Amino acid sequence: MGRPVDLVEIWRNDLLECVHQGHAVVCDEAGQVVHAWGDPSAVIFPRSSCKMIQALPLLESGAGAHLTTEQLALSCASHQGAAIHTDRVALWLKDLGYTDADFRCGPQTPSDKDAREALIRAGEQPCQIHNNCSGKHTGFLTLNKHIKGAADYELLDHPVQKMGKAAFEETTQETSPTYGIDGCSAPNQACTVHGLARSMAAFASAKTTGDLRQQSMVKLREAMMTYPELVAGETRACTDLMRAMDHKVAIKTGAEGVFVAIIPALKMGVALKIADGATRASEAAIAAILVKLGVLDANHPATKARMTTDMRNWRGTHVGYTRPAAALL
């Protein structure tokens, strides 16, 4: 594996205090590398950035034919457990005839402040529906009910996960060398940064007049772009930046410094991985790449809040800033 390169800098006064390194790739519709930083062949876990790939079997099987655009957005989401997320997941779950106990993602305290405080005031514990992946898992349950699979749909050898792996390998055009178990208990297949970007380019170049896979890709990317608040939540980078791009680009974060973008107008896909896993760096890097590609305004407040962040201390004094490294600029 080649060495990562400097992607994001943290300055305090006039001293470079911290540098975040990583790998990034921009692919065209043919899967060819248009831009690259670091090593395109670096093997990574995409984590939650690949949820739209994991949702493909939901549509391709016919299980999700009746689902709304909002539900498709939630199937790709890493939401923050706000009412706009859990209320919709609860209705979807009820329609399936399932309860919170049927999930296999585990309970998680909501990152949404209002939802978290409501649980505390009520003296209640978080449920699995509050898990940031509960939308994806409701998609899994929908598919599992359709194929009449066993209850433990999260297991590696379950048909639901085998279908997800097949979609992953087909769209990345790689044989996954290994897997990890994600925070939500589902398997997460490894691939190269190039492979992940290649998959995103396939989503970007898919057409409504294409085959079933392309039609499914279009529905999922459109759902993400239409409802960015369901994909993440208020104040989150995915939501704010998709809105800043006028709902014309789909982006998705993943744990440990991963970010992807689907750009239909350019028929391009983007994937990046920050080597040290820092979210502040992955947000800055994806914003810089989207600006470089001409689909994000560098002066938009949502862009500035991630790409060129003003650092202030607890008294509000300006003490430094974040900026993309020279390679990205």
Instruction: Dump pLDDT digits (tens) for 300-313.
Output: 999 999 999 999 99
For the stretch 313-319, contacts whose Cβ atoms lie closer than 8 Å and that sit 24 or more positions apart, written own/partner, are 319/12, 319/13
Give me the pLDDT at residue 329, please. 85
User: Which residues, in sequence order, are CB contacts of 114 under 8 Å at separation 6+?
Assistant: 82, 83
- Mapping DSSP to helix (H, G, I), strand (E, B) and coil, where does residue 34 land? strand
Residue 2: pLDDT band by 50, 70, 90 thresholds?
confident
Residue 21 has pLDDT above 80, yes or no: yes
Give me the pLDDT at residue 1, please. 63
pTM over 0.85: yes
The tokens describing 86, both together, are 């859990």
Tens of pLDDT, residue by residue over 201-258, are 999 999 999 999 999 999 999 999 999 999 999 999 999 999 999 999 999 999 999 9
Cα 204 from chain centre: 15
As a whole-number percent, the residues of the chain with pLDDT over 90 amount to 99
Residue 10 has pLDDT above 70, yes or no: yes
- Sorted by where each starts, the structural domains of the chain and their CATH numbers stand as 5-324 (3.40.710)
User: Which residues, in sequence order, are CB contacts of 329 under 8 Å at separation 6+?
Assistant: 288, 292
Tens of pLDDT, residue by residue over 62-99, are 999 999 999 999 999 999 999 999 999 999 999 999 99
Of 1 and 150, the structure prediction assigns the larger pLDDT to: 150
Instruction: Report the alpha-carbon distance of residue 315 to residue 219 in Å, rounded.
Output: 46
| Cα Rg of the chain, angstroms | 19
Secondary structure element (H or E) that encloses residue 94, with its range: helix 83-96
Instruction: Report the alpha-carbon distance of residue 252 to residue 132 in Å, rounded.
Output: 13
As a whole-number percent, the residues of the chain with pLDDT over 70 amount to 100
Residue 161 has pLDDT above 90, yes or no: yes
Instruction: Report the alpha-carbon distance of residue 301 to residue 71 in Å, rounded.
Output: 29
The tokens describing 229, both together, are 């608040």
Average pLDDT score, the chain? 97
Give me the pLDDT at residue 52, please. 98
Q: What is the mean pLDDT of residues 129-145?
A: 98
Contact 289, 269 (CB under 8 A): no
Number of residues written out for the chain = 329
Tens of pLDDT, residue by residue over 176-189, are 999 999 999 999 99
Contact 272, 292 (CB under 8 A): no
Q: What is the mean pLDDT of residues 105-118?
A: 97
